[in-house]
């Protein structure tokens, strides 16, 4: 590509109307031609940047390293475990043993189902007493707490009988 | 099991056909895809990380993901659209890591814009002598590392990887109009970084 052709096409490149090999040729020309590059604006330099940037080639061992990674991902879990080394193996074994023991304990000693009434205490118990359905009892609950009278009840009954 | 002609339509791009063959168990097809796109993936990753070793690690991660995603592969777009979507995700994941960001803190103020020693205009005249080509290149590369993430992705995919607006839109899952806007703003941002170094030029 000669200079005049490259300069003509720069307008199209800037407007995004040039792509592929043609665009690459224009960029390469400006990146290597001092005379043409002399007149570039900052915006045009930005367009030429891809032709000036580094181009890497894969390292010699790139494929080999990829194969190793691929094998590592594909190998079964127990092989990965072996590759861990003993400190991690011991920690993993300890964690596993704890989980198994906890599981056995839970299965062997399940929590007994609790009576929901136990959570509400004496009130719930009292509510179940059949005599509380008797209005005569309910209306004289104070008497049930008169412990002196209750204690002396046999004597009081005898005295009442005598009279 | 080999893919039959009935299951691989003729209209598919060659890479998609290779991927379908690999999905069907033909590992040689994967090797072909790997060979064909290795260089592109390393260079694509390098635009984000600017470190050869990290770029190669990322390229390998991209191919590992392709390998692992083969069983669920469906032809919904060109193969390169799918590949670059994976590649973009891998690279952005890397540059978003706090460890990476801490190691690549942008320099502040003038330091960030200073491309290094340049020859003086007063001594030499023309702008090509005012700024050495290497200095311009370095300034632009540093600027590219700092432009907003989406602008950077769109710019790299379109200008470096030579993908069409439609393909970039497919990869970034945005409209073509948005892609054009991102690329234009990206170029403007890069040009702004150069302007202080080329004060005698009027932007056209």
What's the confidence (pLDDT) of residue A144? 74
Task: Check CB contact under 8 Å for A53 and B204.
Answer: no
pLDDT, one tens digit per residue, over B139-154 is 888 888 888 999 999 9
pLDDT, one tens digit per residue, over B107-118 is 444 444 443 333
Nearest-by-Cβ selection for B198 from A42, A47, A63: A42
Average pLDDT over residues A49-58: 90
Burial class of A39 by CB neighbour count within 10 A (0 to 12, 13 to 18, 19+): middle
pLDDT, one tens digit per residue, over A75-104 is 666 666 777 778 888 898 899 999 999 999
Asked if the structure places residue B58 within a domain, the reply is yes
CA distance, residue B6 to nearest chain A CA (Å): 30
Which pLDDT band, with edges at 50, 70 and 90, does A121 fall under?
A: low
For residues B168 and B84, state if they share a domain: no
**Tokens at residue B103, please?**
């190691």
Task: Check CB contact under 8 Å for B52 and A52.
Answer: no
Q: For an interface test with A, which of B140, B144, B151 has the most A Cβ atoms less than 10 Å from its Cβ?
A: B140
A49 Cβ under 8 Å from any chain B Cβ: yes
Percent of chain B whose predicted confidence (pLDDT) is above 90: 53
For residues B81 and B30, state if they share a domain: yes
Per the structure, the complete domain to which residue B193 belongs is given by 123-199
Q: Considering its fold, how many domains does chain B have in total?
A: 2
Is the Cβ–Cβ distance between B40 and B161 less than 8 Å?
yes
Query: What mean pLDDT value characterizes chain B?
Result: 80
What's the confidence (pLDDT) of residue A80? 67
Is the Cβ–Cβ distance between B100 and A10 less than 8 Å?
no
CA distance, residue A42 to nearest chain B CA (Å): 5
User: CA geometry: angle at B152 spanning A15 and B114, to 5°?
Assistant: 95
Asked if the structure places residue B116 within a domain, the reply is no
pLDDT, one tens digit per residue, over B7-18 is 445 567 899 999
Q: What's the CATH number where B9 sits?
A: 1.10.1740.10
| Residues of chain B contacting A34 with CB distance shorter than 8 Å | 128
Asked if the structure places residue B164 within a domain, the reply is yes
More confidently predicted of A142 and B86: B86
Instruction: List chain B residues with pLDDT less than 70.
Output: 1-11, 105-132, 198-204
Q: For an interface test with B, which of A49, A55, A69 has the most B Cβ atoms less than 10 Å from its Cβ?
A: A49
Instruction: Say if the ipTM goes beyond 0.85.
Output: no
Percent of chain A whose predicted confidence (pLDDT) is above 70: 83
Which pLDDT band, with edges at 50, 70 and 90, does A61 fall under?
A: very high
| Residues of chain A contacting B202 with CB distance shorter than 8 Å | 41
A79 Cβ under 8 Å from any chain B Cβ: no
CA distance, residue A78 to nearest chain B CA (Å): 20
Distance CA B32, CA B9 (A): 19
Asked if the structure places residue B65 within a domain, the reply is yes
CA distance, residue A37 to nearest chain B CA (Å): 7
Q: What's the CATH number where B164 sits?
A: 1.10.10.10
Burial class of A45 by CB neighbour count within 10 A (0 to 12, 13 to 18, 19+): buried
Distance CA A4, CA A36 (A): 9
Asked if the structure places residue B41 within a domain, the reply is yes
């Amino acid at each position: 590509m000669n200079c005049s052709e490259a300069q003509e096409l720069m307008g199209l490149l800037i407007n995004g109307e040039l792509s592929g090999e043609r665009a690459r040729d224009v960029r390469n020309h400006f990146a290597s031609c001092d005379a043409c590059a002399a007149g570039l604006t900052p915006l045009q330099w930005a367009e030429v940047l891809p032709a000036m940037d580094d181009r890497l080639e894969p390292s010699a061992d790139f494929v080999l390293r990829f194969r190793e990674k691929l094998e590592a991902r594909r190998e079964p879990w127990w092989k990965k475990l072996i590759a861990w080394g003993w400190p991690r193996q011991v920690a993993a074994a300890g964690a596993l043993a704890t989980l198994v023991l906890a599981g056995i304990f839970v299965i062997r000693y399940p929590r007994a189902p609790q009576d929901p009434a136990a959570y509400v205490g004496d009130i719930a118990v009292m509510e179940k007493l059949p005599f509380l359905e008797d209005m005569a009892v309910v209306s004289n609950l104070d008497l049930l707490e008169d412990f002196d009278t209750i204690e002396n009840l046999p004597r009081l009954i005898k005295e009442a009988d005598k009279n | 099991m080999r893919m039959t002609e009935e299951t691989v339509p003729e209209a598919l791009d060659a890479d998609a056909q290779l991927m379908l063959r690999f999905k069907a168990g033909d590992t040689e097809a994967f090797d072909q895809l790997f060979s064909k796109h290795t260089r592109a993936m390393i260079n694509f990753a390098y635009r984000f990380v600017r470190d050869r070793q990290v770029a190669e690690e990322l390229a390998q991660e991209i191919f590992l993901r392709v390998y692992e995603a083969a069983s669920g592969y469906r032809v919904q777009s060109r193969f390169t659209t799918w590949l670059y979507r994976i590649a973009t995700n891998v690279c952005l994941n890397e540059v978003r890591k706090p460890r990476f960001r801490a190691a690549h803190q942008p320099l502040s103020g003038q330091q960030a814009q200073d491309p290094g020693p340049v020859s003086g205009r007063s001594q030499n005249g023309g702008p090509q002598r005012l700024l050495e080509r290497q200095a311009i290149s370095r300034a632009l590369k540093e600027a590219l590392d700092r432009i907003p993430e989406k602008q950077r992705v769109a710019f790299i995919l379109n200008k470096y990887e030579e993908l069409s607006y439609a393909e970039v839109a497919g990869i970034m899952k945005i409209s073509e109009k948005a892609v054009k806007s991102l690329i234009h703003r990206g170029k403007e941002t890069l040009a702004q970084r150069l302007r202080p170094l080329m004060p005698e030029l009027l932007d056209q």
